[in-house]
Amino acid sequence: MGAIDGAAMLAQVEAWSRVNTGTANLAGLAEQAALLAEAFAVLPGTVELVDPAPVTAIAADGSAYDKPHGRHVVVRVRPEANRRILLTGHMDTVFPADHAFQHLRWLDATTLNGPGVADMKGGIAVMLHALMAFEASGEASALGYDVLLNSDEETGSLASAALIAELAQGKIAALTYEPAALPDGTLAHERGGTGNYSITFTGRSAHAGRNPQEGRNAIVAAADLILRLKALENEDITINPAKLEGGAANNVVPDHAVLRFNIRPRTIEAGAAFEEALGQLLAAIEAGHEVATHRHGGVTRPPKPVDAQAQRLFDLVRQCGAELGQDIRWQRSGGVCDGNNIAACGVPVVDTMGVRGGAIHSPDEYLIVPSLAERAALSARVFARLAQGALN
Ligand SMILES: [Zn+2]
- DSSP state, residue 22: B
205 CA distance to ligand 1 middle (Å): 44
User: In the prediction, which pLDDT does 65 show?
Assistant: 96
176 CA distance to ligand 1 middle (Å): 9
User: What is the rounded distance in angstroms from the CA atom of residue 246 to the CA atom of residue 37?
Assistant: 44
270 CA distance to ligand 1 middle (Å): 25
| DSSP bridge pairs for 174 | 86, 349
DSSP codes of every residue in 164-231? HHHHHTT-SEEEEBPPPSSTT-PEEEEE--EEEEEEEEE-B-EETTT-GGG-B-HHHHHHHHHHHHHH
User: In the prediction, which pLDDT does 334 show?
Assistant: 87
178 CA distance to ligand 1 middle (Å): 5
116 CA distance to ligand 1 middle (Å): 8
64 CA distance to ligand 1 middle (Å): 27
121 CA distance to ligand 1 middle (Å): 9
User: In the prediction, which pLDDT does 186 show?
Assistant: 98
52 CA distance to ligand 1 middle (Å): 18
Is 2's pLDDT higher than 90?
no
Is 23's pLDDT higher than 90?
yes
DSSP codes of every residue in 72-140? EEEEEE-TT-SEEEEEEEE--BS--TT-S----EEEETTEEE-TTIIIIIHHHHHHHHHHHHHHHSTTG
- How many Cα atoms sit within 13 Å of 50 on the Cβ side? 24
| DSSP bridge pairs for 262 | 196, 240
Write out pLDDT tens, residues 308-348. Answer: 999 999 999 999 999 999 999 999 998 999 999 999 999 99
Contacts of 354 (CB under 8 A, 6+ apart): 89, 118, 119, 120, 122, 123, 126, 127, 177, 178, 179, 180, 375
| Average pLDDT of the chain, as a whole number | 97
User: In the prediction, which pLDDT does 373 show?
Assistant: 98
304 CA distance to ligand 1 middle (Å): 16
For 285, counting Cβ atoms within 10 Å of its Cβ (0-12 exposed, 13-18 middle, 19+ buried), the class is buried
Write out pLDDT tens, residues 242-289. Answer: 999 999 899 999 999 999 999 999 999 999 999 999 999 999 999 999
Band of residue 12 on the pLDDT scale cut at 50, 70, 90:
very high
169 CA distance to ligand 1 middle (Å): 22
238 CA distance to ligand 1 middle (Å): 22
154 CA distance to ligand 1 middle (Å): 7
The residue-averaged pLDDT of 95-105 equals: 98
248 CA distance to ligand 1 middle (Å): 39
pTM confidence score:
0.93
Write out pLDDT tens, residues 148-189. Answer: 999 999 999 999 999 999 999 999 999 999 999 999 999 999
| DSSP bridge pairs for 362 | none
352 CA distance to ligand 1 middle (Å): 9
User: What is the rounded distance in angstroms from the CA atom of residue 204 to the CA atom of residue 292?
Assistant: 10
244 CA distance to ligand 1 middle (Å): 28
Write out pLDDT tens, residues 339-380. Answer: 999 999 999 999 999 999 999 999 999 999 999 999 999 999
The residue-averaged pLDDT of 12-25 equals: 98
337 CA distance to ligand 1 middle (Å): 7
354 CA distance to ligand 1 middle (Å): 9
User: In the prediction, which pLDDT does 22 show?
Assistant: 98
Smallest CA-to-CA distance from 146 within 119, 121, 118, 175 is with 175
3 CA distance to ligand 1 middle (Å): 27
Name the packing angle between helices 122-136 and 6-17 (round to 10°). 140
294 CA distance to ligand 1 middle (Å): 32
